[in-house]
Amino acid sequence: MISIIGSGRVGTSIAFLCMSHVLDDVLLVNRNENKAIGESLDISNAIPVDSGFSIQGTSDYSKIIGSNIVAITASTGVYLKNRYENIISQANNIRDIAKKVKQYCPDAIVLLVSNPLDVLTYIFQKETLFSRFKVIGIASSLDSSRFRYLISEKFSVPQSLISNAFVLGEHGDSMVPVFSGVSVDGNQLSSMLNMDEMITMRNNVRNYWKRLRMYKSRSQFGIAKQTYDIIESILNLKEITIPASVVLEGEYGERDVAMGVPVKINKNGIAEIQTIDLDEAESLLLRESSHRIKEQLRSVL
């Protein structure tokens, strides 16, 4: 069973994808039970006729018992200026959720989607003492897809011709698009852009959410698809390599922090934290990104 904690736009979009693609039973958990039930009734009409799975809504955490995967999308409010606006209430909320997940399904793989993503990933892992390889923050893959999209637009090429467009570090204003490893139709991206163009694109990746919010209240489909892809790979015994937030213990020279790095995910969670080459400037930016996350952590620990 897949339990999704939070029945807002992102949580319900993940649930819709899981049910329409016949992945597993889904349980929507929301503090407003009527909201969870209503969304489950709606999504149930998207279940294929040959599916043996069902979806239910509840506010009762005890029903998550037996979940293979728990995705956490719950939010205490909408951020407008940056992802740290609600950090105190979000940190308290994730501690409460962590206690319940630890009580009812201590063997689950946990996917964190709520913001501030890296801070909450760290808090959840420390509160539960789950293996760091089973607590995965989903956001850097979204940032990477945005990076890939901007490259595609810049050079008018399909995204299928772009490889290794990774964004590492914080899911926030200090995220680090890694230009040095990107290939565009066999050509190195770093040779196709001057420094000013790189800085502009980096800022556009970091501020993508602000541009999106000029047209709609918040993003939902991109992060829902990124989360679904991980759930699908776990349940269907596939491997997927993406950047995701994980508590580090020396990788990339960092420890006691969670941030986005390339990882290989399989049925057991994170199977490997991968090391990719960074140029000197990118390494410095990644250290600065780690420092920023640690500053925010100190405010809630």
- CA–centroid distance for 91 within its chain: 17
Q: What is the DSSP letter of 74?
A: -
Q: Which of 267, 222, 35 is nearest to 113 (CA)?
A: 222
76-82 long-range CB contacts below 8 Å, 24 or more apart? 78/217, 78/218, 79/115, 82/172, 82/173
- Catalytic residue, chosen from 171, 202, 206, 292, is 171
> Do 242 and 263 form a contact (C-beta atoms < 8 A)?
yes
For residues 30-40, one letter each, b for 16 or more C-beta atoms within 10 angstroms of the residue's C-beta and e for the rest, the string is beeeebbbbbb
- Residue 107 phi, psi dihedral angles, 5° rounding: -100, 5
Four-point Cα dihedral 267, 43, 74, 229, nearest 10:
30
Between CA 129 and CA 149 the distance in angstroms is 37
Between CA 273 and CA 133 the distance in angstroms is 9
Determine whether 171 is an active site residue.
yes
Instruction: Give residue for tokens 């190195």.
Output: 188
Cite the active site residues. Answer: 171
